Amino acid sequence: MKPAIGLEMQGITHHFGTLRVVDDVSLSIAPGELVCLLGPSGCGKTTTLRIAAGLESPGSGTVTLNGTLVSGNGIHLPPERRHVGFLFQDYALFPHLRVLGNVEFGVESLAPAQRKARAMEMLEQVGMADYAGAWPHQLSGGQQQRVALARALAPAPALMLLDEPFSGLDKRLRDQIRDETLQVLKRNKVATLMVTHDPEEAMFMADRVAVMRQGKVVQFDRPETLYNAPADPFVAAFFGEVNQWTVRAQGGTAHTALGDFAVPHDGEVEVLARPEALRLVDDGAIVGRVLAARPLGAVSLLHLRLADKWDVRARLACRTLPAEGEIVRLAVDPTQVFLYPRT
């Protein structure tokens, strides 16, 4: 049996004037799955979300929602006919309505008793039932976000769209609200498309991540695959700090500060190594001199110079830091070193 698809976008292209902001984007989201659009500002992720919502009409391509064509081939259903829920950074709660009224607004087509019951059910799910009689201005940012989520989910939408919904919260609260939001979305088994520029947030929230650059999806895969098998230097560097050099490969081997690596081609090669690829060992084959050592809590950051010319950063789980100027030996995890032909 073919798996159910909540949202399917095929060959989506969109222009603003002569600028192509979305370039042949295709993705699908199953019911209960959360997909993140991840990339730097201006890469086309928010425009892609707006096309899924019906707020923009694609120049070419199709959008299908639960098997129904909603954009493309001369068809364009407006947002109100797509049965889509929205959750944005500013929450957009109605200041003249109490919490219960805000959530009831999403299901105003129901009879009054059913409307209240559904609103209270959703407030219970997000832990805000005790605040049903409160005004929005009496709530914290995190509480307002929970109410906005309850309102968006109350009509049982076919698709939830999240546009940087946690960026207005401080870090500690953001981590908590992200976790709570993810649990509620999974419990309701709704297909969800989320936009973020934060790779850590994407890895935490998403079942799959579409990394975008200049309007294109560069790689669309599970978070662990993006981190451990990035398609190109852009993806590798986007998921955290990297040490990066250019070397010349000869005879199928690239000689680097971290050892020799087999490559399928000769010529210039870009080498990217994550700081966590290095670890201190007594008998390590790599010798380095400590330039600086800084504790960061659970890990420490070391600035090292290898072979008197290669500067690298290493993130290590060590309690006792080497002193500045000390000579240390290191081993490397080759799975966290990536080599690409220079283009």
pLDDT in single tens digits along all 343 residues of the chain: 455 679 999 999 999 999 999 999 999 999 999 999 999 999 999 999 999 999 999 999 999 999 999 999 999 999 989 999 998 877 789 999 999 999 999 898 899 999 999 999 999 999 999 999 999 999 998 899 999 999 999 999 989 999 998 887 888 888 888 999 999 999 999 999 999 999 999 999 999 999 999 999 999 999 999 999 999 999 999 988 899 999 999 999 999 989 999 998 889 999 999 999 999 998 988 999 999 999 988 889 999 999 888 899 999 887 788 999 999 999 999 999 999 998 7
Domain end marker among 203, 236, 269? 236
**Together in a domain, 248 and 228:** no
Residue 235 parent element (H or E): helix 233-238
**Together in a domain, 249 and 277:** yes
Question: What CA–CA distance (Å, rounded) separates 259 from 310?
Answer: 12
The CATH number for 273's domain is: 2.40.50.140
Considering the domain boundaries, does residue 278 fall inside one?
yes
Number of domains in the chain: 2
| Domain around 313 | 241-341
Question: What CA–CA distance (Å, rounded) separates 176 from 146?
Answer: 11
Question: What CA–CA distance (Å, rounded) separates 293 from 303?
Answer: 6
Counting Cβ atoms within 10 Å, is residue 104 exposed (0-12), middle (13-18) or buried (19+)?
buried
Predicted local confidence at residue 1, as pLDDT: 47
**Together in a domain, 113 and 249:** no
Considering the domain boundaries, does residue 153 fall inside one?
yes
Predicted local confidence at residue 2, as pLDDT: 52
Token pair for 183: 């649990």
Residue 149 parent element (H or E): helix 141-153
| Cβ neighbours of 85 (radius 10 Å) | 25
Predicted local confidence at residue 343, as pLDDT: 77
Give me the phi and psi of 293, to 5 degrees please: -140, 125
Predicted local confidence at residue 204, as pLDDT: 93
Contacts of 318 (CB under 8 A, 6+ apart): 280, 300
Question: What CA–CA distance (Å, rounded) separates 168 from 177?
Answer: 11
